[in-house]
């Protein structure tokens, strides 16, 4: 939809084939797409694509922090510290980095919208069997960021879709 409306987009993902495919779809729909292989859970990557967008397009109107992983269905006694770290890095630290770096540039502009993908798994209290539940508690982060940006022209919202099958 953004492409059809003439948006200029940065497609950032650690899956280079997915970045290429998405960029091609955007271009076929009439939009402009910059490809940026990135890891949403690492600060240098996030800062890199934010700064690249600013440099190429001169402004940053919307950032959608959409990266997320569920971790599959590993029984709790088989889960490792590394397993939890990876999921928390992408699902919780990634949105924080998007807020930090996109928010900084948007405040300078006096406008912008940051959209975070949370999860229904992170909404109601539930037993912690899988790390996606605490990792996707992005709702709280979005509320705190929205309050922090009050009066700057920058909005922060979270969306909570249900289960989505991905590669």
The class (CATH top level) of 61-159 is: alpha beta
pTM for the predicted model, two decimal places: 0.87
Under the banding of pLDDT at 50, 70 and 90, the label for residue 125 is low
CA pair distance 14, 92, nearest whole angstrom: 16
The pLDDT assigned to 148 comes to 96
pLDDT one-digit tens code per residue, 61-116: 999 999 888 777 888 899 899 998 998 899 899 999 999 999 999 999 999 999 99
Contact indicator for 167, 149 with CB cutoff of 8 Å: no
Tell me what the mean pLDDT of segment 15-41 comes to. Answer: 93
């Amino acid at each position: 939809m953004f492409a059809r409306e003439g948006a200029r987009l940065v497609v950032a993902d650690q899956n280079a084939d997915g970045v290429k495919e998405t960029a091609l779809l955007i271009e076929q729909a009439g939009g402009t797409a910059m490809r940026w292989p990135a890891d949403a859970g690492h600060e240098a990557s996030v800062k890199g694509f934010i700064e690249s967008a600013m440099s190429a397009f001169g402004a940053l109107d919307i950032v959608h922090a959409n990266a997320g992983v569920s971790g599959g269905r590993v029984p709790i006694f088989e889960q490792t510290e590394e397993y939890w770290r990876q999921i928390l890095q992408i699902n919780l630290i990634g949105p924080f980095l998007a807020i930090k770096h996109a928010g900084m540039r948007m405040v300078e502009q006096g406008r912008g919208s940051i959209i975070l993908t949370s999860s229904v798994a992170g909404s109601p209290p539930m037993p912690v069997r899988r790390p996606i539940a605490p990792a996707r508690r992005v709702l709280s982060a979005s509320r705190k960021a929205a309050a922090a940006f009050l009066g700057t022209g920058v909005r922060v919202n979270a969306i909570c879709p249900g289960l989505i099958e991905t590669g």
